[in-house]
Amino acid sequence: RILSEDYQLPNDPAVIVFQREPGASRAAFEAGIRTALEQLRRMAGTLTVISPLDHERMMDNQAAYALLGLNTQGEDAGTVLEAIRSALPERPGLKITLTGKPVVQDDVNRASMHDLKRAELIGLPLAFLILFYAFGGWIYALIPIAAGCTAVGISMGILYWLGSGLQLELSNFVL
């Protein structure tokens, strides 16, 4: 918060790293940075762009970085990040990488959701088979599974209420 208020830096910025490939001229390197950042400034989800061309400490002869403050109000951060990735141009002699807290958090969220879906696809049928064998009937096997699904649904509703109603920031690891 202090960085945001005192130095006008975005909260939790996405970071774009520009790397100059061997053989590329300094002028082409700077032109590539300028082109990429101009495209990002025109995007709706990008609130702030801090350019290495305006701050020499953010740039050396081989690499530079820019900070992006994202406006994700009412939008999924993943959607905004995908739009940023697709807007970044591919230029010869310049490698562009997107990183930072929002990017890493989006990657973790995607991996967690993928793993959760896979676990449910394997776990629920396996639990049903074990319960069917243990209790000797499909109705008796469905009772604990239905109770578990109900408990998960109620818990998710409470977490949704906590996150949206009380304006709490919750990690996806509370799942």
**Tens-place pLDDT, residues 124-166:** 899 999 999 999 999 999 999 999 989 989 998 888 888 777 7
Residue 82 pLDDT grade (very low, low, confident, very high; cuts 50, 70, 90): confident
**Tens-place pLDDT, residues 6-62:** 556 667 788 999 999 999 899 999 999 999 999 888 876 557 888 999 888 899 989
Q: Supply the pTM of this predicted model.
A: 0.71
Which pLDDT score is estimated for 172?
63
pLDDT at 76 over 60: yes
- Both structure tokens of 97: 């990488």
Which pLDDT score is estimated for 173?
65
Element (H, E) at 95: strand 94-100
Which pLDDT score is estimated for 19?
95
**Tens-place pLDDT, residues 108-117:** 888 888 898 9
Q: How far from 12 is each of 4, 62, 105, 125, 153, CA to CA, in Å?
A: 9, 25, 11, 41, 31
Which pLDDT score is estimated for 42?
83
Mean pLDDT of 63-89: 81
d(CA 54, CA 38): 13
